[in-house]
Structure 1
Amino acid sequence: MYRLNPALADFWKTRKPYKLLKGGRFSSKTQDAGGMAVFLARNYSLRFMCIRQFQNRIADSVYTVIKEKIGAAGWDDEFEIGVSTIRHKTTGSEFLFYGIARNLNDIKGTEGVDICWIEEGEGLTEEQWSVIDPTIRKEGAEIWILWNPHLATDFVQAKLPLLLGDDCIIRHINYTDNPFLSDTAREKAERLKEVDPDAYRHIYLGVPYDSDDGAVIKRAWIQSAYDAHLSIEADWTGRKSVGYDVADDGDDKNANAGIDGAVLCLLDEWKGGEDELRESAARTKLNAEKIDADVIGYDSIGVGAGTGSHLNSMGWRRHYKFNAGAKVEKPEKNYGDTKIKNKDFFANLKAQAWWLLADRFRNTHLAVTKGRKFRADEMISIDTGRVDSALLERLAVELSTPLRDYDNTGKVKVESKKDLAKREIKSPNLADAVVIAASRGMLARVSITDML
């Protein structure tokens, strides 16, 4: 039989229409909510709507947590556990599971919901809330929102509690309040506390970052790009490219990103060491063939230097190099609408590529939120139906994490992997792959064959 965290007893017993539960990792938020939900489903007739941003597979949802709690209590015979729903045979309680990032309007017609459980609420937007809240209208219904704080400016962190006022109960809980935490997990948290107190406070104590003002790409811009091609009229699709970020060391991973015109349509990540470079190049070639890409861009620094030769040996000769430390492209041309030349604005090619991608995300955000008009090649959309949801959530974090930096001459650059490592942040493989793929227009040369 499972046990609930006694530190949350008063939280669950309090009768409020909105229950907001936040905190750092290992704090038992999801496990406790799952245990409470199963207990209620067994004793009352309730309809649960369990939602999160992305759910390409049922395994991406809290379905697994609910199923585990049922098994831990020995109640398997009491529940019908289907492929996509869970139902109690006696009370009739049922659990429904939704992803809202691309199917928000699907929940409007869901009637009779007693409890709406929103997992990973840090990504909740005001627009999504304006649809979810009026949908949960049954007398006595509750909305549970669980999240790990990301930014102090996030809607769920800054504005929502003010909107709800006395109708909500808010509780912040951390791993230090979890009596069931393993020694291994506790040691992980304490180890980070010694190495990087700031990262420890954010990850394990749930202290939000003040803002993402210092980030090259803001998270709000990325969220606006989700399926923007479905709502913004433009000539979105076109020539396809795949970006390949090559693993640097034993802990690093390889990553691919595929872009169709201005639509991100593929993400892939895998382990593959220096002795498996040919196999990784072959996997990249397969991904390129999967989306019918006409060119592959690859990280040509260090171990990636031989990638072109591997691709050539497989009969794939349409590729270009991405050297992050190289000189900028079109150095004498002014950057954007400024009067500053590229060579005077950017420290290197990496900075130029990240900034140009950031410009496209910002333009998409302005098109979605303000109705501004841009060409498709000045924007970028993310096809959430074609990209793995777990990788997509990681990509959003990776893209919005690197900070703006400056070299000794005042030129802009992107926070280095070495500096990211000091913050206990791993190499942004997926983000770098997207940057490489998006650099196609800047780096890929058009051949005579392509022009004929």
Structure 2
Amino acid sequence: MTSTTPTLNPVLRDFWTTQSRNKILYGGRASSKSWDAAGFAIYLANNYKLRFLCARQIQNKIAESVYALLKIQIERFGLQSRFRVLKDKIVNRVTGTEFIFYGLKNSVDEIKSLESIDVLWLEEAHALTEEQWEILEPTIRKEGSECWFIFNPNLYTDFVYQNFIVNPPPRTLVRKINFDENPFLSKTMLEVIDAAKERDEEAFEHVYLGVPRSDDDATVIKRSWIEASIDAHIKLGFEPEGMKRIGFDVADDGEDKCAMVYAHGSVAFWCDEWSAKEDELSKSCSRVYGEALNRDAHITYDSIGVGAFAGSKFGEINAERKTRIQYAKFNAGDSVHNPEKLYVEKITNKDYFSNIKAQSWWSLADRFRNTFNAIKRGEPFKPEKMISISSEMPYLEKLKTELSTPKRDFDNNGRVKVESKKDLAKREIKSPNLADAFVMAYAPINRSLLVGKNSGW
């Protein structure tokens, strides 16, 4: 092999030869992504001394890695004499380039100790979690090193899709490729793809065109419902009416953030989030109080843990002012609101929901679903049964992702509940602070339990 690049897919030549910290190659099946990555990796390995870390989420044996692809490309280019294909690694005899293989799920801590990695090749990168990336990124620290992300998108909310395609960091090269740019595709495969399109166009777009799925059927609120709600009050022609509320989610550890969301009736207009230590809770409460005062809104705050202090702080501020703000606590584990009221036919709130948190999330989900049906199907609903999010909402993409992330769960009595923060952490998902604040801005409350006095209503 000469020092020129090998004969691979010509449309990707510029992608591979352009130096960039992160290279994101994604799209549908049958697009030659991994094949081309293996070919270019062998080209580099045969011309330069490099160290490749080839990783994927789960790798119980070497056959589950890109090991086989690399071996095929070595044979394809006639380079068997220049490479040693060992049981657990591949080495170029001449340049000294080394390919090593790891599964992230079981070995991510071991990877931290690796040195002198030139290329991190993440295959099936859609499964990478934020926590894993926080470990991997500083590990790939050699000058001029690159990180290759190769994947077929799964969910729009996946960490990799959100952080490398929707909002890519600096020095990131993103390229989408599908089967229609693969010149090596067989006639048989083209017929398979055509049949898939005829059978189910939505599934075809996901599998072969690399369109991420908006909805995870296991989540409480589907992303497609949220997308439909953006500026729904403008599209459907209704005005914000009713209570003005601010939901306040209090940070409960050093890595967590405080968040607040402002809503007027069925329209959510604004949000904010910020880092604050436990000893800065007083400042955070003053910040929220100030927004409530400016917007003539009352506050619903998270009263669990350190948030228990918030109520007394709001009381102190009220005592110092002639204008007073109303506030109410929200304890996710409390009993449901209107327990004897029927939620669905023959099933009361207390028999359907595990706690007030579940009831609040489901109530919000119902409003999002109604809005989706009104926008997409023309079904009639009263504004108070719907919800709209202003397109001017700060952190809009993050909010949409957080709202569509928690999954349904059930308690021991079969009542529905929302995936806990501990269970989210097991999926390596951080606390959805904006979403929690949003839910609190719409949580059912008993007005008689509001503290303070507000002349606005």
Query: 3-state DSSP class of the match of 2:259?
Result: strand
For residue 192 of structure 1, report the CA deviation from its aligned partner: 5.0
TM-aligned CA distance change 1:173 to 1:416, over 3 Å: farther
Equivalents in 1 of 2:362, 2:414: separation in Å?
15
Equivalent in 124, 127, 138 of residue 202 of structure 1: 127
For residue 398 of structure 1, report the CA deviation from its aligned partner: 0.8
For residue 285 of structure 1, report the CA deviation from its aligned partner: 1.6
Q: Which residue of 2 aligns with 1:226?
A: 230
For residue 206 of structure 1, report the CA deviation from its aligned partner: 3.8
TM-aligned CA distance change 1:279 to 1:371, over 3 Å: same
Q: Which residue of 2 aligns with 1:330?
A: 338
Q: Which residue of 2 aligns with 1:341?
A: 348
Letter in 1 for 2:375: V
Equivalents in 2 of 1:313, 1:6: separation in Å?
72
Equivalent pair of 1:192/1:199 in contact (CA under 8 Å): no
Find the structure with the greater CA-based Rg. 2
Equivalent in 279, 282, 290 of residue 275 of structure 1: 279
Equivalent pair of 1:27/1:175 in contact (CA under 8 Å): no
Equivalents in 2 of 1:195, 1:400: separation in Å?
29
For residue 443 of structure 1, report the CA deviation from its aligned partner: 4.0
Equivalents in 2 of 1:260, 1:198: separation in Å?
45
Q: Which residue of 1 aligns with 2:365?
A: 358
TM-score w.r.t. structure 1 length?
A: 0.57
TM-aligned CA distance change 1:357 to 1:9, over 3 Å: same
Equivalent pair of 2:245/2:262 in contact (CA under 8 Å): yes
For residue 286 of structure 1, report the CA deviation from its aligned partner: 2.4
For residue 171 of structure 1, report the CA deviation from its aligned partner: 4.6
Equivalent pair of 1:27/1:174 in contact (CA under 8 Å): no
Equivalent in 299, 302, 305 of residue 299 of structure 1: 302
Query: 3-state DSSP class of the match of 2:335?
Result: coil
Q: Which residue of 2 aligns with 1:28?
A: 23
Equivalent pair of 2:326/2:454 in contact (CA under 8 Å): no
| 1:111-138 CA-partner distances (Å, limit 9, x unpaired) | xxxxxxxxxxxxxxxxxxxxxxxxxxxx
Please state if 1:243 is matched with 2:155.
no
Q: Give structure 1 regions of 4+ aligned residues with deviation exceeding 4 angstroms.
A: 5-9, 169-179, 185-192, 195-201, 446-452
TM-aligned CA distance change 1:11 to 1:412, over 3 Å: same
TM-aligned CA distance change 1:448 to 1:394, over 3 Å: closer
Letter in 2 for 1:278: S
TM-aligned CA distance change 1:330 to 1:171, over 3 Å: same
Please state if 1:266 is matched with 2:270.
yes
Q: Between Structure 1 and Structure 2, how many residues are aligned?
A: 298
Letter in 1 for 2:357: K
TM-aligned CA distance change 1:331 to 1:262, over 3 Å: same
TM-aligned CA distance change 1:266 to 1:187, over 3 Å: farther
Equivalents in 2 of 1:224, 1:173: separation in Å?
38
Equivalent in 257, 260, 279 of residue 253 of structure 1: 257
Equivalent pair of 1:193/1:200 in contact (CA under 8 Å): no
Letter in 1 for 2:23: S
Letter in 2 for 1:11: V
Q: Which residue of 2 aligns with 1:193?
A: 105
- Matched residues, percent identical? 42
Letter in 2 for 1:409: N
Equivalent in 293, 309, 325 of residue 289 of structure 1: 293
Q: Which residue of 2 aligns with 1:373?
A: 380
Letter in 2 for 1:408: N
Q: Which residue of 1 aligns with 2:94?
A: none
Please state if 1:403 is matched with 2:407.
yes
CA RMSD between the two structures: 4.0
Equivalent pair of 1:174/1:205 in contact (CA under 8 Å): no
Q: Which residue of 2 aligns with 1:383?
A: 390
Equivalents in 2 of 1:270, 1:175: separation in Å?
40
What does residue range 129-140 of structure 1 map to in structure 2 within 5 Å?
none
Equivalents in 2 of 1:325, 1:334: separation in Å?
20
| 1:373-406 CA-partner distances (Å, limit 9, x unpaired) | 1111111111012x12xx1111111111111000
Query: 3-state DSSP class of the match of 2:260?
Result: strand
Equivalents in 2 of 1:174, 1:247: separation in Å?
45
Q: Which residue of 2 aligns with 1:56?
A: none
Structure 2, gaps ≥5 residues long = 45-49, 58-101, 109-121, 129-148, 156-212, 319-323
Equivalents in 1 of 2:33, 2:367: separation in Å?
38
| 1:354-378 CA-partner distances (Å, limit 9, x unpaired) | 0000001101100100111111111
Equivalents in 2 of 1:314, 1:424: separation in Å?
38
For residue 191 of structure 1, report the CA deviation from its aligned partner: 8.7
TM-aligned CA distance change 1:277 to 1:230, over 3 Å: same
Letter in 1 for 2:438: V
Equivalents in 2 of 1:430, 1:344: separation in Å?
28
Equivalent pair of 2:56/2:124 in contact (CA under 8 Å): no
Query: 3-state DSSP class of the match of 2:339?
Result: coil
